Amino acid sequence: MINFMLLVSRQGKTRLTKWYKSYTTKDKSRIARELSAAVLARPPKMCNFIEWRDCVVVYKRYASLFFIACIDRKDNELIMLEQIHLFVEVLDRYFLNVCELDVIFNFHKAYYILDELFIGGQLQETSKAEVLRACAAQDELMEDSKDEGTTATRSSGRR
């Protein structure tokens, strides 16, 4: 099971966090700071797994972002690397060549994609097409609600 997922820039700024286990706010910030420092300090040729506390941290760097996941010791690290890669591929298809700025300015969409893939720390959807279809449907709903809001504002302004 995934305990948490972090997206961290090369400068150490946390861009996205998702916690599947309960932690205090103080612990969350300490964990993010501690793991960011540990991952950023590692040379590029080193293994992408770190044994940390009673868990295993799996990370992968894509462009300027580090995708960091903390999993239970009994879970398979290579499968987690594949799941991170699946998340990156879906982000890449959705944003058409994703970059750090896409995640910063459209963080709600990145969270939505993450929530479509993982529920409660478990992989729920393996089909990239299905996740992208759900995201497209969500975008349509958002556009429809914006259109309705604009129409309601215009009609109330006429009175």
Residue with tokens 């420092």: 37
Q: What is the pLDDT of residues 37-49, one digit of tens each?
A: 999 999 989 999 9
Contacts of 42 (CB under 8 A, 6+ apart): 50
Report the amino acid identity of residue 111.
Y
Say whether pLDDT at 159 is over 90.
no
Helix runs in the chain, H state only:
25-40, 77-95, 100-105, 107-117, 128-158
Q: Could you read off the pLDDT of 64-117 as tens digits, one per residue?
A: 999 999 999 999 999 999 999 999 999 999 999 899 999 999 999 999 999 999
Burial (Cβ within 10 Å: 0-12, 13-18, ≥19) of residue 42? middle
